[in-house]
């Protein structure tokens, strides 16, 4: 039997995130206590659980950030600093968020001119997923949709099409569970997706292609070229947890056809890690626990690497291929 030993370094998955990840988070507002007891036990931070202080200019800092998310042009979007035992998350020109060591206390100090709405957006999209991760939740840069009583997830860096796919499925009659920040909860029978904030952020061209209304009709803030569309008239949101049974890691769009391949073992683990919201990269106890979680996740959830040409007119075909893969667990879209 021919054989060869292989040993490959598969990257510093924990430090590879250079794009501003998405947002958001946890339990739907207004849930009746006791309606879903198991879910009620897992209620997390609410969507506005932070203090908003008076606006002031951002002070220059002597320390170097220990981590940074950058925009496509290389400019910093979020810089991570240690601040005493806690953390400072700086969004240059917008706001500073001070987060306590345990992630249970957060305050926002906006830069003069930054609206409360923008602060809330930053909190939902960037800060809350990090806080939830710090509190021990499994939070991924992903969107998720409900499919036949279960959930499928789309993971990828910013701009890979997560929100577009979530919106496309929703416009085809299904419901979305999460957009950008997907929170998973471990149960005795696997992992389930918790409903996030009931909104999806779409680029204007995507919004026009999938919804067709003028942005003014949809409300919501426009930030970084994306419009937040609340669930309701155009998009249906699933407000109950759903077991996760398939995950698609989105490629860069280089493929000329719909191209899917199973993702297993070490590669699957690193992909899950790569798309995790992590606040403190040096907390080894946390990293060890997280490693166990993602290893189990990669064994229990069917994973695919998926790439496809980014054409709005192909979305129906793509959606059908994804459903076929997810339900048959066969490759070959």
- Check if the beta carbon of residue 177 is closer than 8 Å to that of residue 152: no
Does 273 participate in binding other proteins (rule CB under 8 A)?
yes
Q: Helix (H, G, I), strand (E, B), or coil: what is residue 186?
A: strand
Does 295 participate in binding other proteins (rule CB under 8 A)?
yes
6 vs 313, beta carbon nearer other proteins: 6
Instruction: Tell which one of 267, 305, 319, 327 touches other proteins (CB under 8 A).
Output: 267
How many beta carbons lie within 10 A of that of residue 200, not counting itself?
A: 30
CB 249, min distance to other proteins, A: 15
14 vs 83, beta carbon nearer other proteins: 14
Options 133-141, 152-160, 183-191, 266-274: segment touching other proteins (CB under 8 A): 266-274
Query: Which structure tokens are listed for 95?
Result: 């706001």
Does 190 participate in binding other proteins (rule CB under 8 A)?
no
In 102-258, DSSP assigns E strands to 106-110, 138-147, 150-155, 175-178, 181-187, 190-194, 199-203, 222-223, 226-230, 242-250
Does 85 participate in binding other proteins (rule CB under 8 A)?
no
CB 319, min distance to other proteins, A: 29
38 φ/ψ angles, rounded to the nearest 5 degrees = -65, -40
Instruction: Tell which one of 31, 136, 281, 305 touches other proteins (CB under 8 A).
Output: 281
Options 29-37, 116-124, 229-237, 282-290: segment touching other proteins (CB under 8 A): 282-290
CB 327, min distance to other proteins, A: 22
Instruction: Tell which one of 197, 298, 304, 322 touches other proteins (CB under 8 A).
Output: 298
Residues 272 and 303: their CA atoms lie apart, in Å, by 10
11 vs 92, beta carbon nearer other proteins: 11
Task: Work out the end-to-end distance of the chain between its first and last CA atoms, rounded to an integer number of angstroms.
Answer: 33
Give the contact letters, 2-41, x = binds to other proteins (CB under 8 A), - = no.
Answer: -xxxxxxxxxxxxx--------------------------
CB 8, min distance to other proteins, A: 5
Options 97-105, 115-123, 128-136, 258-266: segment touching other proteins (CB under 8 A): 258-266
Residues 216 and 235: their CA atoms lie apart, in Å, by 16
239 φ/ψ angles, rounded to the nearest 5 degrees = -105, 20
Residues 147 and 131: their CA atoms lie apart, in Å, by 28
Q: Residue 321: in which H helix or E strand, if any?
A: helix 315-328
- Check if the beta carbon of residue 112 is closer than 8 Å to that of residue 55: yes
Residues 143 and 21: their CA atoms lie apart, in Å, by 12
Does 172 participate in binding other proteins (rule CB under 8 A)?
no
Query: Which structure tokens are listed for 305?
Result: 């690497």
210 vs 278, beta carbon nearer other proteins: 278
Instruction: Tell which one of 65, 287, 319, 327 touches other proteins (CB under 8 A).
Output: 287
Contact residues for other proteins (CB under 8 A)?
A: 1, 3-15, 264-270, 273, 281, 284, 287-288, 291-292, 295, 298-299
């Amino acid at each position: 039997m021919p054989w060869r030993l292989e040993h490959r370094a598969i990257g510093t998955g924990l430090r590879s995130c250079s794009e501003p990840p998405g947002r958001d988070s946890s339990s739907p507002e207004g849930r009746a206590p006791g309606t879903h007891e198991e879910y009620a036990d897992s209620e997390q931070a609410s969507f506005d659980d932070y203090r908003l202080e008076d606006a002031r200019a951002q002070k220059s800092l002597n320390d170097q950030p220990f981590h940074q998310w950058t925009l496509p042009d290389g400019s910093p979007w979020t810089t991570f600093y240690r601040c005493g035992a806690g953390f400072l998350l700086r969004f240059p020109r917008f706001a500073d968020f001070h987060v306590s060591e345990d992630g249970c206390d957060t305050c926002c100090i906006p830069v003069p001119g930054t609206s409360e709405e923008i602060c809330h957006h930053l909190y939902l999209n960037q800060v809350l997923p990090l806080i939830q991760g710090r509190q021990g939740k499994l939070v991924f840069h992903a969107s998720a949709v409900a499919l036949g009583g279960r959930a499928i997830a789309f993971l990828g860096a910013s701009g890979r099409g997560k929100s577009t796919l979530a919106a496309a499925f929703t416009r085809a009659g299904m419901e979305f569970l999460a957009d950008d920040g997907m929170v998973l909860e471990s149960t005795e029978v696997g992992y389930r997706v918790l409903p996030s904030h009931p909104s999806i952020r779409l680029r204007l061209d995507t919004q026009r292609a999938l919804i067709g209304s003028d942005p003014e009709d949809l409300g919501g803030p426009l930030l970084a070229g994306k419009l937040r569309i609340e669930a309701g008239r155009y998009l249906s949101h699933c407000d109950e947890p759903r077991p996760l049974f398939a995950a698609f890691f989105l490629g860069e769009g280089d493929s000329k056809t719909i191209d899917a391949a199973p993702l297993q073992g070490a590669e699957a683990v690193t992909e899950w890690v790569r798309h995790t919201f992590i606040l403190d990269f040096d907390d080894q106890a946390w990293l060890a626990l997280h490693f166990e979680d993602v290893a189990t996740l990669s064994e229990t959830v069917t994973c695919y690497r998926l790439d496809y040409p980014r054409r709005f007119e192909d979305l129906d075909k793509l959606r059908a291929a994804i459903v076929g893969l997810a339900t048959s667990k066969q490759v070959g879209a």
